Amino acid sequence: MTSASIPANAALRSPQEARALFRSETSGPTAGWAAGHTQANLISVPADWAYDMLLFCQRNPKACPVLDVTDAGSWTTPLAPDADLRTDLPRYRVWENGELTDEPTDVADRWRNDLVSFLIGCSFTFEWALSDAGVPMRHVEQGRNVSMYVTARPCRPAGRLHGPMVVSMRHVPPEHLSAAIKETALLPAVHGGPVHCGDPAGLGIDDLDRPDFGDPVAAEPGDIPVFWACGVTPQAAVMASRPPFAITHAPGRMFVTDARDDQYRVA
């Protein structure tokens, strides 16, 4: 799927305005939207898989930092009380027995009364801190989705769930590397500091120009590839573990919450 360009005024939109646009017409990536507001990954699984998912997240907190868990069947969250998790993301993915079967912009007709939804911290949240520290966001500059890769690092299994860690990558100029590490480490609820810097082979990644999710993003001369654990990791677990049904966000197309980034900063 080719990403749509990020609108020039996306950062100025309120979370409510952003969600209204996602409900009606906008299906592109959410990087750069609603400045200062927390974004979240979504995964909804049947209730009889919910404990396994909760345990998977607890055992792999770098990739799966949980911000909220709903009651079975609920499509609401205190992170955005007027929002509807079935309609207010730009695009979704529907999974059956570990296979991707659809990528709709609305899942109200696919919702089930036994679905438990997990909202997981997203690295798009810490991009505002990086920008404030002077770290360029190459994918935002290029109007692209962030690059995401399946790694050779296995997650710690939990019940029936297992799978590899997924990472997001940003090209960082060397003079900004220390700031990128420091600023993201202060936001552990949205993945925290990087898991790897430099040679992608250290994560089992063969080609940065061929991401597993998102878009390839061009580097500037001297840029260092920096990798953060990614909330698409549960989707890799769905593919590996094959639960009978799941709904997730489409990679890069997050739930924009009313919560402020500062709520999750540890210092």
Q: Is the pLDDT of residue 156 over 50?
A: yes
Residue with token string 């989705």? 145
Contact criterion met (CB below 8 Å) for 167 and 233: no
Pick the range with the lowest mean pLDDT from 28-37, 96-105, 163-172. 28-37
pLDDT in tens, 172-204: 999 999 999 999 999 999 999 999 999 999 999
CATH of segment(s) 11-123+241-264 = 3.40.1640.10
**Mean pLDDT value across residues 118-142:** 93
Q: Is 135 helix (H, G, I), strand (E, B) or coil?
A: coil
What was the pLDDT predicted at 192?
95
Q: Is 94 helix (H, G, I), strand (E, B) or coil?
A: strand
Given this chain, do its domains 11-123+241-264 and 127-229 carry the same CATH topology? no
Q: How confident is the model at residue 226 (pLDDT cuts 50, 70, 90)?
A: very high
Q: How far apart are CA 143 and CA 138, in angstroms?
A: 9
**Mean pLDDT value across residues 201-221:** 96
- Least Cα distance to 231 among 255, 209, 215, 210 occurs for 255
- Cα dist. 41→84, 177, 236 in Å? 14, 26, 13
Q: Where are the domains positioned within the chain?
A: 11-123+241-264, 127-229
Tokens of 259: 């919560």
- The separation between the first and the last C-alpha atoms of the chain, rounded to the nearest angstrom, is 38
Q: Would you state the CATH architecture of domain 127-229?
A: 2-Layer Sandwich (3.30)
Contact criterion met (CB below 8 Å) for 169 and 221: no
pTM, rounded to two decimals = 0.92
Pick the range with the lowest mean pLDDT from 47-61, 104-118, 122-136, 226-240. 122-136
Helix 47-59 with 233-241: angle, nearest 10 deg:
130
